Amino acid sequence: MPGTAGSDLALFQVDAFTATPFRGNPAAVCLSENPLPEATMKAIAAEMNLSETAFVSPVRSTPASGEDYHLRWFTPLVEVPLCGHATLATAKVLFEKGLASGEIVRFATRSGILSARREGTHIVLDFPQDPPVPADVPEEVTSALGLASPAEEILLGREVLMLLLRLRSPEEVKVLSPDFARLSKIRLPYGATGVIVTAPEKSGNSRSGQTSFDFVSRYFGPWEGIDEDPVTGSAHTVLGPYWAKRLGKRRLLAFQASQRGGELHLRLPGENAPEETESRMTISGEAVIVLSGTFHL
């Protein structure tokens, strides 16, 4: 792997879920020949101060399941069990820099084996679904979020530990202005570490102007050191099955309505899917490398 001699590490910054620099969600991707100590990864992630820094190292043996790389994700404060945009960013670097041997790269992660496939200008991530279940939140949470009216539905993604609040309209989602100082002091129920707000989007158009979005969302995670994450792939493991069921669609186009914004293409398996894929989904998007260099430890 390039740039890993001695204590130097190859480092990239990638804008994910966008084809345009300075949009989407920026992630740092740090390449090393061997897994780094956890304290070092935490220190680098804090230094980068992005919503996620991905740490990638080759799998030295050849397991039967065929993983190519170890992959872990850290916010400036904590390690997270699953991250979509930093996985997309990592795959972009490995494909573009010739470090992936084919059109598919497989990662060994805390969420099991994840794969990324190059498909034209898009990278397609194979992720687990996290269908949400009914939940409730205390009034202090909805007050600190600044909701103009009560949420129409409240649910919980049990694997990613994210609360999902469905609002009445995309406008409510877009104008929401949470009090992050208040939110960060509130202990969320169920051990949740973030809040998704979402609404169906009937009339909005994608940035390409060709297709209407199916839904919009935003994600807030001050409990993880991220007030608002620009584009959150892991949140869409909850949003995908939620909206697929309610809209009766297996293919969905989503827009995360943060200030930077980003598009995500979701596909859920059909009713007659093989057993091994019925709990999976794909999340795809584009990415652009905006910075590359060397991290000196």
Which sequence spans correspond to the domains of the chain?
Answer: 8-129+285-296, 133-267
- Residue 206 gets the label, from left (phi > 0), alpha (psi -120 to 50) or beta, of beta
Record: fold of 8-129+285-296: Diaminopimelate Epimerase; Chain A, domain 1 (3.10.310)
* pLDDT confidence of residue 117: 97
Domains 8-129+285-296 and 133-267 share a fold: yes
Active site members: 52
The mean pLDDT values, 10 residues at a time, for the chain of 297 residues are 68 97 97 96 97 94 74 96 97 96 93 95 97 97 95 97 97 97 96 97 54 92 95 98 96 97 94 71 98 94
pTM: 0.90
Q: Which burial class, exposed, middle or buried, applies to 111 when counting CB atoms under 10 A from its CB (0-12, 13-18, 19+)? A: buried
Rounded distance between C-alpha atoms, residue 277 and residue 54, angstroms: 26
pLDDT at position 212, please? 87
- Tell the CATH superfamily of the 133-267 domain: Diaminopimelate Epimerase; Chain A, domain 1 (3.10.310.10)
- At 270 the pLDDT is 78
CA 184 to chain CA centroid, nearest Å: 21
Give Cβ neighbours of residue 175 (< 8 Å, ≥ 6 apart).
none
pLDDT value at residue 210? 45
